[in-house]
Amino acid sequence: MIQTLKNAMRIFLHTGSSYTKNPAIIKQIVVMNVFSTIGCLITFCIGVSTFFQDNHIHTSVLFITSFLFLIAFLIQKAELFRNPYPYSSNLMLVTLFIVMAYLIQTGGVDNTGPLWVYIIPPIALFFGGIQKGLINLGLFGLVIATLLFYPDDFLLSTHYSNTFKLRFIYSLLTVTALFTVYEFIREKSYTELEVLSQQFEFQAKRDMLSGLHNRRGMMESLEYEYKRSKRTQSNITLIMCDLDKFKSINDQFGHEKGDEVIKTVSRLFQLNLRELDTIARWGGEEFLILLPMTDKEKGIIIAEKLRDIIQRHVFTYNDKTFNTTVSMGLYQINTTDSINDAISAADNNLYKAKALGRNQCIS
């Protein structure tokens, strides 16, 4: 029962967030759903209270406000737009501004209406960001300053002392300034965390030695291209390749030179593959190459080109020079294959190339 309620609450709070995976936007949507719901309930309850006090104008304004808050939430829920959040948040802000201006103009209950205005700065800045939020607050400030300081209180249906008006404006400016600083720090902190998160995400998908994709990064690319190939009926070919007798390089020249060979081979692969291709260091001296929009015949041409480039490259160690070669196993993915099956098939062909004498491509 409790878990069901938690799931229902989570679905409710995330209403209208299915179009985005941006955590900042999702957070704004959650807050907006909470605020519009609470605003709808509070204004409706106060409206009912004023109804029994025979204050029909206040009652009408509060019921209309409650209805507009409900509309803001329903815009999110109905998902009539690809990105409903700007429409619902703007409707909610405009509604708030109008209601607050009305409370200042009428004074509300016992002239306490202006006290509600202090919720405006944090809401405007949170939903609109600093630039848009300050513009909205500036326009709202201009409206309420006009209401308060128009000669002879002509635009007001209540009376405030000049001292109250000035203190109210000063305090509202102070609150606005404080929340602007807070919002600036919050946005800056979020940006820094986002950059760090992207860096960690990038590092998590990269092999630190070669700079190529690691297994995780390659699997993401494979899954994407595999789905696309099924959708577009296009071909994909995999090349599993392995440096021949790499252990002897480490034994003769040391592991540092072995690392240099891996980095050089990685760079040669990258320089001679197409932009749409993806290459990963699959493990040790093994590489996996993903060739989208490529059948087996074209894959063999690419593989032979890469094999020839590697075998002709000359490595140096002190006064010595040496070469290395690669063996390659190719496999064109069929529509009935799983990704793991395709990788295994390419790997089996690689072992065949090794068994047949190395430095060759087998498909």
pLDDT tens profile 288-312: 999 999 999 999 999 999 999 999 9
Q: Give every CB contact of residue 1 below 8 A, 6+ residues apart in sequence.
A: none
Distance CA 90, CA 73 (A): 12
| CA distances (Å), origin 162, targets 145, 150, 238 | 12, 12, 79
pLDDT of residue 147: 94
Distance CA 360, CA 358 (A): 6
Please determine, for residue 79, whether its predicted confidence score (pLDDT) is greater than 70: no
Instruction: Name the band, by pLDDT with cuts 50, 70 and 90, for residue 105.
Output: very high
Report the share of the chain in percent with pLDDT over 70: 99
pLDDT in tens, 85-98: 888 888 989 999 99
* 130-149 average pLDDT score: 93
Q: What is the pTM of this model?
A: 0.61
Average pLDDT, the chain: 89
Residues involved in catalysis: 285
Q: Class of 215-362 per CATH?
A: alpha beta
Distance CA 241, CA 159 (A): 84
* Range of weakest confidence among 71-80, 298-307, 315-324: 71-80
Please determine, for residue 141, whether its predicted confidence score (pLDDT) is greater than 70: yes
Please determine, for residue 24, whether its predicted confidence score (pLDDT) is greater than 80: no
Instruction: Name the band, by pLDDT with cuts 50, 70 and 90, for residue 29.
Output: confident
Please determine, for residue 195, whether its predicted confidence score (pLDDT) is greater than 90: no
pLDDT in tens, 217-264: 999 999 999 988 888 889 999 999 999 999 999 989 999 999 999 999
Instruction: Name the band, by pLDDT with cuts 50, 70 and 90, for residue 350.
Output: very high
Could you write out the three-class secondary structure of 98-127?
HHHHHHHHHCCHHHCHHHHHHHHHHHHHHH
Distance CA 191, CA 199 (A): 12
* Range of weakest confidence among 32-36, 134-138, 260-264, 347-351: 32-36
Domain boundaries, the chain: 2-202, 215-362
Measured from the Cβ of residue 209, the count of other Cβ atoms closer than 10 Å reads: 12
